[in-house]
Amino acid sequence: MGALTARFGAGLAGFFVLLVGFWLAGLVLAPNLMMIDFALRPNLLPADVGGPADVYSLDNLAYLAGEPVHRDIFFKTVWASALVMLATFVVCYPLAYWLAQTASPSAASLVVLALIVPFWINEVLRTLAWYILFAFRGPLNALLLGLGILDEPMRWYGDGGVLVGMVYAYILFMLFPIYNSIESLEKAQVEAARDLGASTWRIHTRIVIPHAKAGIATGCVFTFMLAAGSYVAPALLGAPGSRWFTQIIYNWFFEGGDWNRGAAYALVLLVLCLAVVLITLRVFRVSLTDVAK
Amino acid sequence: MSHSVALERITMSFGATKAVDDVSFTVEPGEFFSILGPSGCGKTTILRMVAGFLAPSAGRVLIGDRDMAGLGPNQRPTAMIFQSLALFPLMPVWENIAFGLEARGVPRAKRRRRADELLELIALPGYGDRKIAELSGGQKQRVAIARALAVEPEVLLLDEPLSALDLKLRQHMRAELRAIQKRTGVTFLYITHDQSEALAMSDRVAVMSAGVLQQVAAPRTLYEDPETPFVARFVGETNAIPGTVAHVADGIAALDTAHGRLSARAGRGVAAGRAATLYVRPEALGIAAADAPSALGARVERLDFEGAFGLLHAVTADGAAVLAALPSTTLGAAPAAGEAVRFAFAPRDAIALGAAQGEA
Ligand SMILES: Nc1ncnc2c1ncn2[C@@H]1O[C@H](COP(=O)(O)OP(=O)(O)O)[C@@H](O)[C@H]1O
Ligand SMILES: [Mg+2]
């Protein structure tokens, strides 16, 4: 506050503090508190709200625990999101390393541009593009049939389609944190390791990954949370057998008309994401301030 | 006879520029061999070709008489000490030193023992568990040397390793490097742009200019018998006096210069009637006797007293600077600023070189 006042004067500094306060209280804290409130109340007719039946309970959470289909979808969403995170990492790490350490500046900027341009388009439309590519009578099947790789068209919608769509959707969230952290690694360290006889595998496990772990943790946390909270990709590219937990939440709110149960489900998802963030940070031994950088 | 390192007609081009142009030399086992030249002359490029980070555009690199073509840095019996040292900041000192052994699959306990031995060698016993960030510049330097020695290389490649240190530490590390080299008997291929460093430490020095090898010789030979004008100017201080060769007799050339006829040993490219330049070291100049037949006339600008020597800065009539190092004991008779002075020198202490070849 002292530094802010010195820099912008008391009036402007006060305004900034007020803005941040409003953002925290009004746009972060209040909705979440309301969600918790909703989650813990029963779903009542408007006439009964505030009546003797309107008491706090864990019924909505218990319902999720006792409902096998929803429970399975929840756990499936967890591990499938982890899979998306892993797949995105596997795709992004070599690319980030190449961009940061070996690519010529012109090649690097060309590739970065090619990666960013599609993201100027809305996520729904981008996913729709995959929807078209993956269609039963779509270009992908036509290509594979034409090349003789397939004898008859494949059904791509489902788990595989969702995975591909999400890896593509979140690639930049994984790529840039890793790229940033690898870029700060001095090239001579990689050369020194090689000169001392290290294999490529050892160079990465002992030198590059330890150096880049804050970036890797950041990318993983981002990707996991985005995947777990994703709605578009599973809705478009999924099949009835590959439903996502977000779709269940959506149904409670807008089809089941039970906001309370929807809020309870959303709360569970939020807690899960928080847990994943904390566990990932613990596993990578990085602090939140490292990630914020 | 088996050479430790042999470069055979090495050329390295980056696009249109030749960073290294047809360079050949050999380094003998156990030798402290330096490559000396100004920044950008291709020293690092040569070292990286020996280490295996770069493949030469033409020519061969041999180590211990084996052709290194197609072998990567991790397959060559060399170890490099980088200009930036490139220590691994996330590993403790001992793991840094033992990294090469780790890559070779040596068990942990043995690695630790070897690292501790090397820490003794570099006079840092007990530093194994320190972090790299806790070390001083000189200590990091020594850890980098230990890390390279741990893999028992046949040749240690050093890329201006002392350039980041302050003067005092640099002087100290020179002696230390030299001592470590003698103790281990490893061949050192050392590059530097600092001529006093090269002269003080090396058994032999290769002088380079703009990618071209100028001369390979022992430090004293470089200083006393430069073969090219570049070496004469770059190694140590010198005074250059251009002229035309009148005649050559008994290895002594007589040159007609702006100061009259001056004599010097006849070096490379000197022949009667050709243009040549006479080079004479500041310490070879003395104040001429009044009746000296030939001398270098100039006007004194200033005298810098340096303890054992006084450096007399003077300018000739045609504007060329002359530097003379006079022993302090003779300074009483030295002329004052603004006065005329005449310098004389023995022909044996000067050398004339033909202007024809590669002036840089
Ligand atoms: N990878 C490269 N690409 C293009 N030019 C290079 C490269 N490496 C070095 N050079 C050029 O080659 C010349 C010699 O460089 P270098 O060997 O680093 O000199 P030194 O170590 O003697 O200072 C310089 O002109 C430099 O610009
Ligand atoms: Mg260099």
CATH code for the domain of B277: 2.40.50.140
Q: Do B163 and B84 share a domain, yes or no?
A: yes
Q: Are residues B170 and B241 in the same domain?
A: no
Q: Is residue B359's pLDDT more than 50? A: no
Yes or no: is domain A70-292 CATH 1.10.3720.10?
yes
Q: Which residues of B touch A214 (CB under 8 A)?
A: none
Crossing angle, helix A139-146 and helix A123-133, to 10 degrees? 30
Residue B43 domain flag: yes
Model confidence pLDDT, tens digit, residues B189-209? 999 999 889 999 999 999 999
Q: Are residues B86 and B211 in the same domain?
A: yes
Residue pair B242/B277 in contact (Cβ under 8 Å)? The answer is: yes
Position in ligand 1 atom list of the atom nearest CA B41: 22
Residue that finishes a domain, picked among B197, B229, B261 = B229
ipTM over 0.90: no
B67 φ/ψ angles, rounded to the nearest 5 degrees: -70, 130
Which amino acid residue places its CA nearest to atom 26 of ligand 1? B40
Q: Which domain holds residue B186?
A: 5-229
What is the tens place of the pLDDT at every residue in B71-93? 989 889 999 999 899 999 999 99
Based on the domain organization, do B222 and B246 belong to the same domain? Answer: no
pLDDT interval class at B244 (50, 70, 90): very high
Residue type, A193: A
B88 touches chain A (CB under 8 A): yes
Contact B82 A191 (CB under 8 A): yes
B218/B252 same-domain check = no
Total number of domains in chain B: 2
Q: Dig out the tokens for B57 from the structure.
A: 């555009």
Task: Pick B74's closest partner by Cβ from A186, A197, A211.
Answer: A197
Choose the residue to mutate in B41, B45, B157 for probing ligand 1, maximizing ligand atoms within 8 Å of C-beta: B45
Q: Do B84 and A188 touch (CB under 8 A)?
A: yes
Task: State the count of interchain CB pairs (< 8 A) between A and B.
Answer: 61
Over chain A (293 residues), the average pLDDT of each successive run of 10 is 75 87 87 85 79 81 84 89 94 94 90 88 86 85 86 84 89 93 93 93 94 91 90 83 85 84 88 87 76 63
Instruction: Kindly report the nearest CA distance between residue A199 and chain B, in angstroms.
Output: 7
Residues B193, B242 within the same domain: no
pLDDT of residue B357 exceeding 60:
no
Q: Does A52 touch chain B (CB under 8 A)?
A: no
For the CA of B160, the nearest atom of ligand 1: 21
> What 3 state SS string does chain A have?
CHHHHHHHHHHHHHHHHHHHHHHHHHHHHHHHHHHHHHHHCCCCCHHHCCCCCCCCCCHHHHHHHHCHHHHHHHHHHHHHHHHHHHHHHHHHHHHHHHHHHHCCHHHHHHHHHHHHHHHHCCHHHHHHHHHHHCCCCCHHHHHHHHCCCCCCCCCCCCHHHHHHHHHHHHHHHHHHHHHHHHHCCCHHHHHHHHHCCCCHHHHHHHHHHHHHHHHHHHHHHHHHHHHHCCCHHHHHHCCHHHCCHHHHHHHHHHCCCCHHHHHHHHHHHHHHHHHHHHHHHHHHCCCHHHHHC
Same domain membership, residue B62 and residue B24 = yes
Q: Are residues B251 and B299 in the same domain?
A: yes
Q: How does strand B5-14 pair with strand B58-63?
A: antiparallel
Q: Could you read off the pLDDT of B26-83 as tens digits, one per residue? A: 999 999 999 999 999 999 999 999 999 999 999 999 998 899 988 989 889 999 999 8
pLDDT tens figures, B129-183: 999 999 988 899 899 999 999 999 999 999 998 887 888 888 888 888 898 899 8
| pLDDT tier for residue B110 given thresholds of 50, 70 and 90 | very high
Note whether A211 contacts B79, CB cutoff 8 Å. Answer: no
3-state DSSP call for residue B348?
Answer: helix
Question: Mean pLDDT score of chain B, rounded to an integer?
Answer: 89
Please say which residue of B229, B249, B278 terminates a domain: B229
A206 touching B, CB under 8 A?
yes
Residue-range domain boundaries for chain A: 70-292
**CA-CA distance, A202 to B194, in Å (whole number)?**
36
Question: What is d(CA A256, CA B257) in angstroms, rounded to the nearest whole number?
Answer: 107
Residues of chain A neighbouring B151 (CB-CB closer than 8 A): 196-197
How many whole angstroms separate alpha carbon A127 and alpha carbon A222? 19
* Same structural domain, B64 and B126: yes
Domain end position, chosen among B201, B229, B257: B229
Q: Is B360 within the bounds of a domain?
A: no
Residues from chain A that touch B146, judged by Cβ atoms under 8 A, are none
Q: Express each pLDDT in B264-311 by its tens digit.
A: 999 888 888 899 999 999 999 988 877 777 788 888 888 888 888 888
A188 contacts: CB under 8 Å, gap ≥ 6: B82, B83, B84, B86
